Chain A
Amino acid sequence: MLRKGVQIGAVGVGAGLLWGLFLQKTGRAQGFVPRPPGALPPNEFETACSKCGLCVEACPYDTLKLAGFKDIAAPGTPFFEPREIPCYMCRDIPCVKACPSGALPHTFEDITKAKMGVAAIDHNSCLSWQGLRCEICYRDCPEQNKAIIIENHPRLLSKHAMFVPVVMPDSCTGCGLCVHSCPTDRPSINIVDPEKFLGKIGDHYRLGWKEKLDARAVPEAPMKDAGKPGGLDFLNSELP
């Protein structure tokens, strides 16, 4: 009886430890990967995801794919590679609707609130930052003037200003359209892990000049036709 108990215990513990070791590699992502919009935070996502691929089947652009063993993401979980196919931010978010497990919670309804990652620009290879006129990322950004803005920087040796793209992390959804369209050999703008990339300024810093600007800012006068229905948000939406 004791002998049998020891045998069973040894096999169970041994199998459990080896299995657990293997899980370190296959259970969780080995780094940052852009997940479908509205996904739970990284560790919770891998716990919740049932690896069924229904979001992949629902994606009309073939953006999403299920990870294999060579990918950074845990095998079987959905992710996308923005340089190949970015997330086109469907307004009806079919991938979230398709998810049966709750890994993409159905309470997520506004695609512009997605945080699939955050865009980061490498100034040393960005064409616009070198002084050329590019701004493709800015033009392609679905949250234009919110997630990517263009700033004018004066130049030392020429009259012409530089038009440089700047990412606004609060509005950036991490969709990766900018990465997809960046014309440099390797993209000069990338979707990166917000947790690792974004800093925090600290409450004790006072940006006096910004406060002055805010105080001087005049509230926008209401537009003449404010009550009338506005234009289209998306080209494929119907007229109001």
Chain B
Amino acid sequence: MTEKQKKIRHLSQPKTAAEWIYRLRFTIARRFVQFCLLAFFFGSARFGFKVADKFILSGDLSSSRILDMIPLADPFAALQRLCAQYWLSPETLIGAGLVLAFYWVVGGRSFCAWVCPMNLVTDFAFWCREKLGIKTNVLSLSSNLRYLLLAVSLILSLCTGIAAFEAISPQGVLWREIVFGGVYGLLSVIFGIFALDLAVSKRGWCGHLCPLGAFWALWGRLSATKVKFDNDTCTRCGDCLKVCPEPQVISFKDAAKVGMIRSGECTNCGKCVSVCPENSLKFGIRFIKDTKKTQ
């Protein structure tokens, strides 16, 4: 920056369908993954849809099986039940271990952007905010509030003997009632969270309150897949900050130092990657140094 001022450019609005698809490639991929997972679970529960006499995915996000065989379990739900003084079954431990290992590879909060059904609701609310130009932020919350709620959920589990967040989790209700049927809970969590994000607090649920997101954010500090940052090409245009659902994670100073977006709160949604005019942001593995620069 000091030696020569770089010229700031912005990506132009895509014109053709192909350009739009390319621009939205990560969003399309995320929606695809989210809907595929929902469809697999839904098909197993409602229609008994099987391949080779086995369910592809059965259960729900708290606990499930792939092909009736490989167990998966939500590690945060398991942790709460552990706090509630219940010794977990071996299957839950294996399942939670597998899920932790998987998200260690793909990035902790990848769950939030790529799997969680509530992401559909909150992304839609955010999109509506942008389109309608809603600027109100009645409740300006700290994005660290979620860590407090994470602690509260674990303490409550300990005190009451019930997995505290699992008992009220809006995404749990959303997923369960889509997959297994139910109307009242489904509508109330969709509209409740939508209203919160739209009119009360910008990115209120996913960005500030959700303890599950907080759990994955803590795990994401260690995880392998990160958005890599190339300081040499970056012009500080700030386009990434405008689209990022968690803008506090983009700190140019820190990113320039370590060459990536280090914060665990990054959801690996890829919005910044697709909007960056200089291709300074790319998905990469934290341990692999970018070789392009040396050649």
A100 touching B172 by the CB < 8 A rule? no
A51 touching B85 by the CB < 8 A rule? no
Complex alpha-carbon distance, A44 and B85, angstroms? 10
B179 touching A27 by the CB < 8 A rule? no
Closest Cβ–Cβ distance, residue B47 to chain A (whole Å): 11
B63 touching A52 by the CB < 8 A rule? yes
B84 touching A100 by the CB < 8 A rule? no
A91-107 contact mask (Cβ, 8 Å, vs B): 1 or 0: 00000000011100000
Stretch from A62-70, A109-117, A118-126, A172-180 that touches the partner = A62-70
B179 / chain A contacts, CB cutoff of 8 Å: 53
A23 touching B86 by the CB < 8 A rule? no
A126-160 contact mask (Cβ, 8 Å, vs B): 1 or 0: 00000000000000000000000000000000000
Please report the number of residue pairs spanning A and B whose Cβ atoms sit closer than 8 angstroms: 128
Is A171 at the interface (CB under 8 A from chain B)? Answer: no
Is B119 at the interface (CB under 8 A from chain A)? Answer: no
Task: Say yes or no: A50-B160 contact (C-beta < 8 A), given A12-B148, A26-B167, A57-B55.
Answer: no
Task: Say yes or no: A68-B184 contact (C-beta < 8 A), given A23-B160, A53-B179, A74-B167.
Answer: yes
A20 / chain B contacts, CB cutoff of 8 Å: 156, 159-160, 164
Closest Cβ–Cβ distance, residue A123 to chain B (whole Å): 38
Task: Say yes or no: A53-B59 contact (C-beta < 8 A), given A19-B156, A26-B167, A100-B91.
Answer: yes
Closest to B64 in A: A52
Is B155 at the interface (CB under 8 A from chain A)? Answer: yes
A54-66 contact mask (Cβ, 8 Å, vs B): 1 or 0: 1011000000011
Task: Say yes or no: A47-B148 contact (C-beta < 8 A), given A19-B164, A66-B176.
Answer: no
The contact of B86 among A44, A52, A56, by CB within 8 Å, is A44
Per DSSP, are chain B's interface residues mostly helix, strand or loop, or mixed?
A: helix
B58 / chain A contacts, CB cutoff of 8 Å: 54, 57
Complex alpha-carbon distance, A96 and B295, angstroms? 60
B78 / chain A contacts, CB cutoff of 8 Å: 50
Per the 8 Å Cβ criterion, residues 2-56 of B in contact with A are 44-45, 48, 55
A56 / chain B contacts, CB cutoff of 8 Å: 45, 180
A1-39 contact mask (Cβ, 8 Å, vs B): 1 or 0: 000000010011001100110110011100000000000
Closest Cβ–Cβ distance, residue A37 to chain B (whole Å): 17
Complex alpha-carbon distance, A101 and B58, angstroms? 14
The contact of B89 among A19, A65, A69, A101, by CB within 8 Å, is A101
B152 touching A54 by the CB < 8 A rule? no
Is B222 at the interface (CB under 8 A from chain A)? Answer: no
Name which of A22, A51, A54, A102 has the most chain B CB atoms within 10 A of its CB. A51
Closest to A74 in B: B167
Closest Cβ–Cβ distance, residue A127 to chain B (whole Å): 35
- Give the B interface residue count (CB, 8 A): 51
A15 / chain B contacts, CB cutoff of 8 Å: 148-149, 152
A50 touching B180 by the CB < 8 A rule? no
Task: Say yes or no: A12-B151 contact (C-beta < 8 A), given A57-B55, A68-B177, A100-B95.
Answer: yes
B172 touching A12 by the CB < 8 A rule? no
Closest Cβ–Cβ distance, residue B125 to chain A (whole Å): 22
Complex alpha-carbon distance, A26 and B185, angstroms? 12
B60 touching A47 by the CB < 8 A rule? no
Complex alpha-carbon distance, A8 and B141, angstroms? 12
B81 touching A19 by the CB < 8 A rule? no
Closest to A16 in B: B152
B54-78 contact mask (Cβ, 8 Å, vs A): 1 or 0: 0100111011110000010110011
B166 / chain A contacts, CB cutoff of 8 Å: 50-51, 76
Complex alpha-carbon distance, A101 and B78, angstroms? 9
B149 / chain A contacts, CB cutoff of 8 Å: 15
Name which of B63, B78, B88, B151 has the most chain A CB atoms within 10 A of its CB. B63
A65 touching B180 by the CB < 8 A rule? yes
Is B182 at the interface (CB under 8 A from chain A)? Answer: yes
A23 / chain B contacts, CB cutoff of 8 Å: 156, 160, 162, 164, 167-168
B225 / chain A contacts, CB cutoff of 8 Å: none
Closest Cβ–Cβ distance, residue A28 to chain B (whole Å): 7
A16 / chain B contacts, CB cutoff of 8 Å: 152, 155-156
Closest Cβ–Cβ distance, residue A109 to chain B (whole Å): 16
Is B173 at the interface (CB under 8 A from chain A)? Answer: yes
- In order of increasing CB-CB distance, the 10 nearest A-B pairs are A102-B89, A52-B63, A27-B162, A52-B59, A50-B63, A27-B167, A68-B182, A100-B91, A16-B152, A54-B59
Taking Cβ atoms with an 8 Å cutoff, the residues of A that contact B are: 8, 11-12, 15-16, 19-20, 22-23, 26-28, 43-44, 46-48, 50-54, 56-57, 65-66, 68-70, 74-76, 100-102
